[in-house]
Structure 1
Amino acid sequence: MLNEKQKSLISRMIFMIVFMVFFISLLSLSSCRTTDHENITAGGRIAAVKINLLGTEYANSDEPTKIASINQKEFMEANRIQRYNVLLSPSSLINAELEPVRILNTVTSTSKNLNTKAAVLGNPIGEGIKFRVIAYKQNNGSYQIHQDYTVGQQAVPLMLDDGVTYDIIVYSYGANTLPNISTNEQTNIGNAKINYDSDNRDLMYQRISSFIPNGNSANNSLNIKLKHKIPNLTITLKSNSIISSVSNALIGNNYANAKLSLQSGGMTDWGSSNKVNVNFPSGSSNSLVSSPVFVNNDTNKGLFSADITVAGITKTIDLVDAFKIIPEYKSNLTINLKTCGAYIGSNTNPANYKEFMCQNLGATEGVDPFSPEAGNHGAKYQWGAKTGEVGRYVSQADDQSKDGDISGWENYKKPAGSWSDNSKTENDPCPSGYRMPTVAQWQGVISNNNVERVGGTWANDKNNYTTALYFRSPSNIRTLMLPVAGDRNSAGGGLSYRGMYGFYWSSSGSESYASYLSFSSGSVSVYNDGRTEGYSVRCIKE
């Protein structure tokens, strides 16, 4: 039997053992806390913050933005719609339009499990996509904690100090992976940058400023809507002829080595650029639409190139410095490959389609040839005259600045044969590969193409540049536009009928007259008249 003294000693020993075990356990628990949690203020209340992923969005476009012209090929932007026009040849052109998508469709979710897909139109966030949440103290920018999340899995609360003001940064690559958090991300927000990932290009980001958690509340939450930072483009190729193949399609410039500043949300350290492949479907059509592609760019140096087979002929198109690719926008780039012309015989036979120059002789290069405007009216010629021939030629500039008689206007005819139906003459003003159309060809155009008239009132007004006549194919595609440019009368070369009548010379004539195309708001036909009027010239391909 133990005496009382021995029993007391044993009890004290048991107590000491229990105390030591308890103390060691506390040390063990303390050592298991992450470095992140050690940043939480000692002795302060802790707030559990719920994470709600509400969806994603692109920037919306609702205000006009002006961008200075960056080349001589007509670069314009209105309401963030950019347009670019360039002639590939006198009878073919590229008409490109870059337009941001304006209709967004965001599906929201406040589920703690993040198991509902959240998306802006065309960019769903599916299960398994990872995103990172980082908390920085606003007063000094220092890092406190981060947590990675996966859509479709239980969302662990973010543990923050009660009453402290934070700047919260959230980002995702739109993929089921995230890189390890870097050292600069875990120091100060001012230094924090992440790499752009060319393999996972849908980089998304949000900054939530001045977030203050409340340790006395069970309803602390961060509502997150990620913004796509990288421009996303879908390219549509169109033609008034059949496109049978597209190869070597590239878009750029893409800056693969750029970094995203977590403080500003802007790209920095751009580095060198490359081009991104664009995938088009196989098959033949008047319109082919690519798969969407991300292009990391924020310059006026947007470019696109491809080898495109149209109507059996392969052409290389190369748009350089053609448009501005704007971060955070989802956009559609539509490239129209147009061959200007009309059917001069039965429109059921493609061989009867004849190319015309896209613009009148003397018109402003770079103006959209299908736009009714002053720059497309061009010069005016007496029948049989050369370009610049004194007394028989009026430039576009003079035609639009001088509506009275022309000093020295000739009133005697050029000799018959100055222009000819049989061959291109020395006086023929059309460039190499083109010639004056015959009256039979103009009649063929009238007989085998649909006609469309545009503009307001077809009235005789020296300032009326808005009226025009379009010829359309059997599929109702505009293939040729003729401005209603009026004429220069035979008496003294004064301006007549601008906006009311269009007059276009043919090569056909005799000793006493010449033939021409004429049209108005109610008629289109060919006529014969004297040869000293000044009419427009539209050349046909030889």
Structure 2
Amino acid sequence: MNILKLNLGIQQFHNTGHLIPAVLLLCSLLAFSCAKQEDKNYNPDDNGRVKVRISRASFDDEINFKSGSTPFTDYPLSNQQTVSVDFNADYYLTATLTPEPSQKADKNPSTKADIIIDLLENNVKYKIVVFDPNGGYVTEKNYSHQNEDTEGDLLLDEYKEYTFIAYSINSSSTAPPDMTFTNPNVKTLATARVSVPGNADFMYFKKKLTLVANTTNYLEVAFKHLFSEITTKIDVSATGYTLTAFEATISPHKNSANISLASAAITRPVANVTAPVLFTPNPTNSVTTLINSPENTNTTLTVSKITVGEITETNLPAITNLKITPGVRYNLTLKITPNDKYLVHQGRPAAQIGGQIWALHNVGVAINQDPNQSPITSQLHGNYYQFGRLPAVAGPTSITENSNWNATAAPYTAWNTGTELAPVKTATDPCPAGFRVPTRMQMAQLVANITPTNRGSFAESNTHYNAAKVLTSKRNKNIWLVLPAQGIMNTNSTGNEPVGLQNRGSWANYYTSSASSAGFWRLTALETTFELTLLTDGFLQQSRPLRCIAE
């Protein structure tokens, strides 16, 4: 501070009769100057300094999960799409499209939907563009993930609210394209655009941030994928042969996109093209394809060539009417399966339906019993089991539970320590060797591949054994499963006391291994209904028959 100038100022104020205000002004200025000198952390270069970091990239999830739920067991079956076409006379191809469920408790702040978190690879290139409070263009800078410190910070004015836009094509070798303005002479956020190819993995981020003085401001970039990603896996394990060739396309797809930086709204060409599924043999038989398309329910997979072992088929019937939502990651499983038939699996009579192998008898039934009895007798009824428990609590003709009944509900993972997509059998699973209690999704696939009909008369009685649901293969009318209507061993309303047999002869009710805090899933059938239903976990102490699927 220049003391001469202050003295002159005081003299001037004295001459005009304002000495006291001048002295107060001097004290304030001196105090502020001293405070600046005493603040050893103060650095005038920190004003408006912005450090940039990437915290994550995310895909949206198509659905929301309840608080405390388990995504693999609570995932809505309606979001899983399954279509089958003939491969040849001996095999058929089943396509199952499943949105990848979120596995982290995070929410999209704008939609409150669950999101799937990805960690980006190092060196992924991205651009930061800055606009002032009025939307005017200020500056831009290119960065690469994990190299931000060496590439430098953004230097802006403190106390201003800036809008930061970040975008990338998720590449470590190719820089993101430059933005353009609809009017090059008026560079504003509202007129800023960026054009990308249709096969680019475009990611976007937007945030407003008011810069604080005398400190370093941090911009945490949370990218959002704007295009869909489909990972196609070709499963030929049921054939016993090796996949050596696969050529396919996915449509509709657009070959470019024009994205508004203000809103992330996408403008696409009118014309559709196809996205090639570029497959080369690899250990997982999988390939990932980016799809640039508006939300639709008519996405089509066209397989032009597939070679399994010595068999080559071309121009298979198209798999149509798949639903695709932009910004969602999907798993598309293509399974080549022998046509439905009866067989012996692990020494037990079984039926292959829709690529799954199911035991022909309930657990506890002698395997030499005719599984297609008509009329059905008590010999085709199996034991009753509590969820997650190994010992049977009642036999086929029992009307009350035995001493094995347990008032404590088993853990949700008691029969499956894996996931819906990759189940793992446990030591408490009552199914015989080579089989296990099916998951909800596996039971749902069975339901999708059969036509249910009734056998016998549906009427409740403790001695009524001849009612059953017959599940006939949609691909081979000579292949079926018979599920006797055994009813359940029920409990009281709190689940802490058994009350014995209910609904024998009128209700088929079979456990799956899928349970969570939201409840447990079961296959239920009355005379006029046949469906998978969710029941609250307060009824896990109930006992039901079991029908097993091959591991």
The TM-score with structure 1 as length reference comes to 0.49
Larger CA Rg, structure 1 vs 2: 1
Question: What's the TM-score, normalizing by structure 2?
Answer: 0.48
